[in-house]
Chains A and B, each alone.
Chain A
Amino acid sequence: MDQHIAETTGYHDAEWHAHGHHKESFVTKYIFSQDHKTIAKQFLITGIFWAFIGGILSSIFRLQLGYPDMSLEWLRPLLGGWITDAGKLDPEFYLALVTMHGTIMVFFVLTAGLSGTFANFLIPLQIGARDMASGFLNMLSYWFFFASSVVMLCSFFLKTGPAAGGWVVYPPLSALPQALQGSQGGMTLWLIAMALFIVSSLLGGINYITTIINLRTRGMTFARLPLTIWALFLTAVIGVLSFPVLFSAALLLIFDRSFGTSFYLSDIYIGGEALSNQGGSAILFQHLFWFLGHPEVYIVMLPGLGITSEIISTNSRKPIFGYRAMIGSLLGIAVLSFIVWAHHMFVTGMNPFLGSIFMILTLIIAVPSAVKVFNYLATMWKGNIRFTPGMLFSIGLVSFFISGGLTGIFLGNAAIDIPLHDTYFVVAHFHLVMASASFFGMLAGVYHWFPKMFGRMMDEKLGYIHFWLTFIGVYLVFFPMHYIGIAGFPRRYYSWTTFDVFNSFTDLNTFVTVAALITMVAQFLFLFNFFYSIFRGRVAPPNPWQSNTLEWTTPLHPGHGNWPGAIPTVYRWPYDYSKPGAEEDYIPQHIPYSQTMESNLPHENDLIALEKEEEDIVIDESSESH
């Protein structure tokens, strides 16, 4: 196999030298880099930073929920004036905490940190391209995200605090500075940060789609694309179609807040006095917001599903079950994601007929989701499973996707949703199916591609401990939450101790808090493992998981341009694991059928004649990746 690489790479040495070796200073190599691999690492490390901020915020509000009588005086050095004189958390700051936890986790961690990292890292490597279609726009994409992060972080240091109207920022709460302290400067910074974030996502998404469509290597047809790429492709398509709509919603909100328009405002009385705003509609915002907001949960989820497909197939040493069905279900989810947004709005008084249409469409999503789950299980069935940390996290994703997805069937029904709306049942549902599942997808991806990113292995034992603590922890946090929700606890409430009805659930809330804190602490194991392994980890072999995809044919530390010499040609799909007759239990994508006569199927023997033609195609690299 190595011989094969050496032979095919002989031709284009001159080309490579012309291409890859620009003079790089520290700044162009690590900071304003246009190399997709460096940009991916920038996204990843920024994402990890935000994940810890988001996690710490949730720990603080979990303390308030689990121990309502506890003195939080010891947090004063961190929170200052947000701890009241009585040693309690300021109720308005509690709202800011849940708002920022949601915003940070959904957008900064699971959108930018997840698809930003893996789309950047995997797309060129797995499709066989030198870099993204436009390295410059790709760099801009990261720096817009960085600017957005800085603005969002600044809002924590305002005297009136960060945005506090919930991550969905419904007006009029978010539109009127009188409504909440957080709706003053904090909300303005939130909107600025999100506008920058949308620009970043669009630049990234446009680049990802262009790269996948235009820069695939010889032989890399759509039917030979790894499922990671399919998932990242559809994620980017959804993003390009839905983020502009969030931009519209935010733009009108900005006008309402700062320029006196009334798109979302009408008939509002504050302190008995009517505001001048007339003729607007708060529901309009919800429509616009959820037209992004629902696809957004798939923007978060699809990359995790793609990563899982790849890892489960590799580590089960079996071809992915139903490759085409997997693509079909991804497509189905992507299309359906745009026509179900109003299931977030069943309680807005919408026409019940309209509600039932959205209900049916929502329930249809269960079909492609189930296809994916069954295919994961069928892939693992009787597989020769290797329990690497990446594999464990992938299996964890499947588990959360099932247990969280089941409650989605409940919530998708308008009649059941109405009593459960805005209770902890909803919180439990989406934290399992979207948040934890995507998080596990991200962690699986980090464990799996760490050797390619940094040329070293992460510590497996720490990985196992991290997995089990997190996996059990997540269930201990979110499973009891369903019961709290069925009991009627509304989300986003600072305290229930004044209601006798809810007193019997205090113990359960305390239990959840303890579990959440343990899970949070376990993440520091990952943080240590990640940074320690970058510098001190065991040096990775070139293909540590014996995987088929193209990224493992690059050198241990690929330079800018990825392959020294010609880009390999692709001859087969990426899931030739344990093929009967083959010498080893994997055949990488760049091995031609003419070299694997012993394992070819009859129709594959017919393809050998065509391989010669494919080899002769010359990739015109003059227009690419500059």
Chain B
Amino acid sequence: MGTNIRLVESPQKTLSVHPHKFALWLFIVSIVMIFASLTSAFIVKQGEGSWLEYNLPSMFWFTTATILVSSVLLQWGYFAAKDDQFKKLNTLLVATIVLGLLFLAGQWLSWKQLVDMEVYFAGNPAGSFVYVLTGLHAFHLVTGLVFLVITLISALKNRIGSGNMVRMEMCVTYWHFLGALWIYLFIFLIFYH
């Protein structure tokens, strides 16, 4: 082989997606499959008839607005982190978490609206599906909130900044995904309920 001196400037390995980020995308794919299967089941069931007609809770408009704003704020926080504006980052992370909690509260109220309209969880599958879709989404949103809290903690410990963006990027990706998932579910329900 002879001498083989390695220079510091040697080219880096070309495959550069961070493994954890890649794993997050795969995790997102598996969540997509859950909701794809449930919404397909919804359509199949609807096609078979004996389907309850009802209106969607008006609260959904409010929660949709909440989650959209939260995504915008988090994206702003991402830019703040890139510029090392730590104070701003912390504030925006807290704001996102608060909006996330507000979203959950709003979903709870929309369930109450459904009950007032006499659409129950245990009843015609048409109504049950709405509970399952929103409930399962809310469950994933809770995991998103946990991720946000973890990110906030590392931000408070100054572990996030322009040089260390992996966790922040993953958190932003996941939160945007959860927002997009809700928009998809909402539009789906508007068209198919």
Q: Which residues of A contact B (CB under 8 A)?
A: 4, 7-8, 11, 133-134, 137, 202, 205-207, 209-211, 213-216, 218, 240-245, 247-249, 251-252, 255, 259-263, 266, 278-281, 283-284, 287-288, 291, 615-620, 623-624
Contacts and interface: CB of A to CB of B under 8 A. Distances in A.
23 contacts: A4-B1, A202-B27, A206-B27, A210-B22, A210-B23, A210-B26, A214-B22, A240-B26, A240-B29, A242-B33, A243-B30, A251-B132, A251-B136, A252-B41, A278-B50, A279-B50, A279-B125, A281-B45, A284-B45, A288-B37, A616-B10, A617-B10, A624-B19
Contacts of B125: 261-263, 279-280
Given A244-B30, A244-B34, A620 B12 contact: yes
B13 A260 contact: no
- Most B C-beta atoms less than 10 A away, residue of A133, A261, A616: A261
B23 A279 contact: no
A279 B19 CA distance: 45
A616 B12 CA distance: 9
Contact of A618 (B6, B37, B128): B6
Closest CB pairs A-B (n = 6): A260-B122, A244-B33, A133-B19, A245-B37, A244-B34, A206-B26
B165 interface: no
B19 A210 contact: yes
A434 to B, nearest CB: 23
A623 B125 CA distance: 47
Contacts of A213: 15, 17, 22
B21 to A, nearest CB: 9
A202 B32 CA distance: 13
Contact of B20 (A133, A244, A261, A618): A133
Interface residues of B, number: 40
Given A7-B1, A259-B121, A288-B37, A618 B13 contact: yes
A9 to B, nearest CB: 11
Contacts of B157: none
Contacts of A623: 18-19
Contacts of A279: 50-52, 124-126
Interface string B44-63: 11001011100000000000
Nearest to B34: A244
Contacts of A263: 41, 45, 125, 128-129
A590 B134 CA distance: 53
Contacts of B20: 133-134
A244 B30 CA distance: 6
A278 B132 contact: no
Q: Is the interface of A mostly helix, strand, loop or mixed?
A: helix
Contacts of B37: 244-245, 248-249, 288, 291
Contact of B29 (A11, A241, A283, A620): A241
B13 A211 contact: no
A24 B20 CA distance: 25
Contacts of A615: 4
A288 B41 contact: yes
B123 interface: yes
Contacts of A291: 37
Contacts of B48: 281, 283-284
A287 B41 contact: yes
Given A261-B121, A279-B126, A284-B48, 8 more contacts: A241-B30, A244-B31, A244-B33, A261-B123, A263-B129, A280-B125, A281-B48, A618-B11
Contacts of B12: 617-618, 620
Contacts of B44: 281, 284, 287
B156 interface: no
B38 interface: yes
Interface of B: 1, 4, 6, 10-13, 15, 17-20, 22-23, 26-27, 29-31, 33-34, 37-38, 41, 44-45, 48, 50-52, 121-126, 128-129, 132, 136
Contact of A245 (B11, B29, B34): B34
Contact of B10 (A207, A216, A242, A618): A618
Contact of B38 (A137, A248, A262): A248
Contacts of A262: 122-125, 128
Contacts of A616: 6, 10-11
Contacts of A252: 38, 41, 132
A246 B29 CA distance: 15
Nearest to B129: A263
B19 A206 contact: no
Contacts of B51: 279
Contacts of B6: 11, 616, 618
Given A216-B15, A247-B34, A616-B11, A255 B128 contact: yes
Given A213-B22, A279-B50, A245 B1 contact: no
A617 B19 contact: no
B23 A133 contact: yes
Contacts of A207: 23
- Most A C-beta atoms less than 10 A away, residue of B37, B48, B122: B37
A552 B33 CA distance: 38
- Most B C-beta atoms less than 10 A away, residue of A11, A210, A262: A210
Contacts of A11: 4, 6
A211 B20 CA distance: 10
A33 B123 CA distance: 47
Contacts of A248: 34, 37-38, 41
- Most B C-beta atoms less than 10 A away, residue of A207, A248, A262, A616: A248
Contacts of A244: 30-31, 33-34, 37
Given A213-B15, A291-B37, A255 B132 contact: yes
A7 B38 CA distance: 56
Contacts of A202: 27, 30
A1 B26 CA distance: 39
Nearest to A132: B19
A174 B23 CA distance: 35
A260 B120 CA distance: 10
A8 B1 CA distance: 8
